[in-house]
Amino acid sequence: MAKPTELHEGLKGVVIAESTICFIDGQRGVLRYRGYDIGDLARHSTYEETAFLLLYGELPTREELDRFSQDLKAQRALSPAELKILQALPASAAPMDVLRTMVSAIALFDPQADDPKPKPKEEEEANRRKALKLIAKMPTILAAHDRLRRDLKPLAPQEGLSHAANFLFMLSGKEPDETSARTFDVCLILHADHGFNASTFAARVTASTLSDLYSAITSAIGTLKGPLHGGANTQVIEMLQAIGSTQNVRPYIEGVLARKERVWGMGHRVYKTKDPRAIILQALIEGLAEVRGHHPLYDIARAVEQVGTELLGPKGVYPNVDFYSAVIYHMLGIPKELFTPIFAMARVSGWAAHVLEQYGHNVLIRPKEDYRGPQEQRYIPIEERSP
């Protein structure tokens, strides 16, 4: 008799590969990119520098960062053909669906999209160039589509603005103040990578077949779309708006728990303490409020955290990155439909780093299943089957 298969639903606790990209200690609330603590990166780095770190494995020199930033700026604009495709998509289409479609479309205009290179180093650099193109273009795609669905003309990227500030400009038509731009920049840093999460794992599975980088990123976007992954931040803002006031928080949360439903933005598959990214984001809200004004949703969010932690903390359930990023995006005037696409816009640098790592030490990812269906059934001709 065959030995029973040990089942790990959702691959929980299963180590499938070694990685040098991201370290997480969920018990202590530690997150590091390439060994650098997320708090240090949030205080001192920029998204451009963080993207370089993820893609190249080390912090850049000033010259390297300047060149990398200039390369990003040079790739931001959509080509006439790319813009024509974007304009042909339904204005009612969900931004995540548009982003997924446009990443696939961009690949069609890259003559090296699926071109194998004779030397590993050349192939790695070619894939970095593809990654840089996607990092640069995804903000332009999202901002242009948002303006098109509001019957506004898309705005061209601005040469003198940072990655974060340029997105906010293309969205609103106004250059953001320094605090707003820096706050959004840190949000992008915090979302840039997070180990073998569902979307990153999807990208690595696709890459493990030796499919191209564009296909791997498309797989990741489709995975991130789900409300149990990237879609949770949209659910957070809807929950806070539904609660309406701090007086309603306790009965609302108690009702959610009584119905065995999810408190959006609370809990994480990895962290058993407060998500370190949530701590950083909460501190950013204080500074943003000085520029944008105090927002009542923040008061509701703090009350939800207090009640949620009281009721769920003993189970290791605390606020995650979605909880306060949703509040920040709302304060910045970003439509909630863009919350998850912004997650993708930031995470693409991490996805690409993992795809490169997968290519470098590739093994086809092919887990087993525990089959529980019928055994050795006899085929019955269709004329003899009972209705």
- Per-residue pLDDT tens over the stretch 213-224: 999 999 999 999
Structure tokens at 346: 């930031």
pLDDT value for 7: 67
- Return the active site residues: 229, 268, 322
Each residue's pLDDT tens digit, 305-346: 999 999 999 999 999 888 899 899 999 999 999 999 999 999
Task: Report residue 112 CA to chain centroid gap.
Answer: 26
Please tell me the distance from the alpha carbon of residue 171 to that of residue 338, in angstroms, as a whole number: 10
pLDDT digits (tens, 9 = 90+) for 143-196: 999 999 999 999 999 989 999 999 999 999 999 999 999 999 999 999 999 999
Closest by Cα among 221, 86, 75 to 135: 75
Residue that the structure tokens 């439509």 belong to: 335
Sign of the CA dihedral running 103, 105, 108, 109:
negative
- Quick check: 138 and 348 in contact, CB under 8 A? yes
pLDDT at residue 42 greater than cutoff 60? yes
pLDDT at 115: 62
How many percent of the chain have pLDDT more than 70? 96
Cα–Cα nearest to 215, from 349, 103, 305: 103
Mean pLDDT across the stretch 51-72? 97
How far apart CA 35 and CA 31 sit, in angstroms, is 9
A 10 A CB-CB count for 303 gives 20
Strand partners, 194: none
Q: In what order do the strands lie in the sheet with 36-37?
A: 22-25, 30-33, 36-37
- Indicate the range of 61-65, 121-125, 269-273 predicted with least confidence: 121-125
pLDDT level of residue 5 (50, 70, 90 thresholds):
low
DSSP character at residue 226 = S
Residue 15 has pLDDT above 80, yes or no: no
Sign, Cα dihedral of 315, 318, 320, 326: positive
pTM: 0.91
Cβ(78)–Cβ(62) below 8 Å: no
Bridge-based pairing of strands 30-33 and 36-37 is: antiparallel
φ/ψ (deg, to 5) at 32: -135, 140
Average pLDDT over residues 362-378: 90
Is the distance from CB of 17 to CB of 34 less than 8 angstroms? no
Is 19:354 a contact under the CB 8 Å cutoff?
yes
Mean pLDDT confidence for 347-366? 95
Q: What is the pLDDT of residue 387?
A: 83
> Which ranges in the chain belong to alpha helices (H)?
38-44, 47-56, 62-75, 80-88, 95-108, 120-149, 163-172, 178-190, 198-208, 213-224, 232-243, 249-258, 276-292, 296-312, 321-331, 339-360
Q: Supply the pLDDT for residue 230.
A: 80
